[in-house]
Amino acid sequence: MRLRLTACLFVFATVTLPAVAQVPATCGDAATQAAANQCASEKFSTADKQLNAVYAELAGKLASDNKGYLREAQRAWISFRDKECTLRTGGGPAQQGSIWPMLYTECRTALTRARIEDLKAQVKCPGGDLSCPL
């Protein structure tokens, strides 16, 4: 089960992650699980900062009426991301041991990078396109 879960996460990450600039991949060089967890956390922090920047850019382009909808959608998405990653990683740390924080954080990073691309597409949306919120 863990092998299949790890394989699924690997496939998901290799499909999703290349679209966005990444922190250098040094996590494989980590000597301990704690170091690997820290590395994954740093990658997530970088992705989260990128997400916040793109979110702010999109919010700046929206009419004031739509900013509230964006805020609500983003809050709902964050809740979804965290619950989805708990599901994908087999539950919380009590069930999965010391590797769980790394797997959970890598999942959150991958979904965050995908969200960045979604928001970037909205930022680039041309005027007059009715599928865009702008």
Q: Is pLDDT above 50 for 1? A: no
Range of the domain at 112: 36-117
Residue 44 lies in a domain: yes
- Position 60 scores a pLDDT of 94
| Number of domains the chain is built from | 1
User: Is 92 part of any domain?
Assistant: yes
CATH number at residue 75: 1.20.1270
Give the integer Cα–Cα distance in Å for 32 and 37: 9
Q: Are 39 and 30 in contact (CB under 8 A)?
A: yes
In-domain check, residue 28: no
**Distance (Å, rounded) from C-alpha 122 to C-alpha 125?**
5
Q: The pTM is what?
A: 0.75
Q: What is the pLDDT at residue 37? A: 93
pLDDT tens digits, one per residue of 61-94: 998 889 999 999 999 999 999 999 999 998 887 7
In a domain, 30, yes or no: no
